[in-house]
């Protein structure tokens, strides 16, 4: 059996550095954690952020006059989406062909 390790925190509350001997006592998370917790963490790890869009938007730069941009931003969160919706409507109304 492995000998017990010294405490990780000393009398002043300072955490000591890990040693190779400490690391020899480490176990994989799968063994050390309850199964439900490990499975939940593993599922979260593989989510990969937001779902991929079927029609992703393209980032671009557009220049607005300061008062126009200020007015758009003043409408609150989602102002860029609202600008996109208005532009999409304009394009549909003015489509040629």
Q: Which two tokens stand for residue 96?
A: 């040629």
Tokens representing residue 66 in the block: 């300061």
pLDDT in tens, 32-89: 999 999 998 888 876 667 788 898 999 999 999 999 999 999 999 999 999 999 999 9
pTM > 0.75: yes or no? no
Q: Identify the H or E element spanning 67.
A: helix 66-74
CA angle (12, 13, 18) in 5-degree steps: 115
């Amino acid at each position: 059996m492995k000998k017990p390790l010294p405490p990780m925190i000393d009398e002043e509350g300072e955490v000591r550095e890990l040693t190779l001997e400490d690391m020899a006592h480490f176990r994989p998370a799968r063994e050390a954690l309850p199964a439900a917790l490990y499975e939940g963490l593993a599922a979260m790890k593989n989510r990969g952020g937001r779902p991929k869009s079927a029609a992703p938007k393209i980032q671009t730069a557009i220049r607005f006059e300061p008062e126009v941009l200020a007015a758009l931003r003043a409408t609150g969160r989602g102002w860029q989406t609202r600008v996109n919706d208005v532009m999409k409507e304009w394009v549909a109304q003015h489509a040629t062909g």
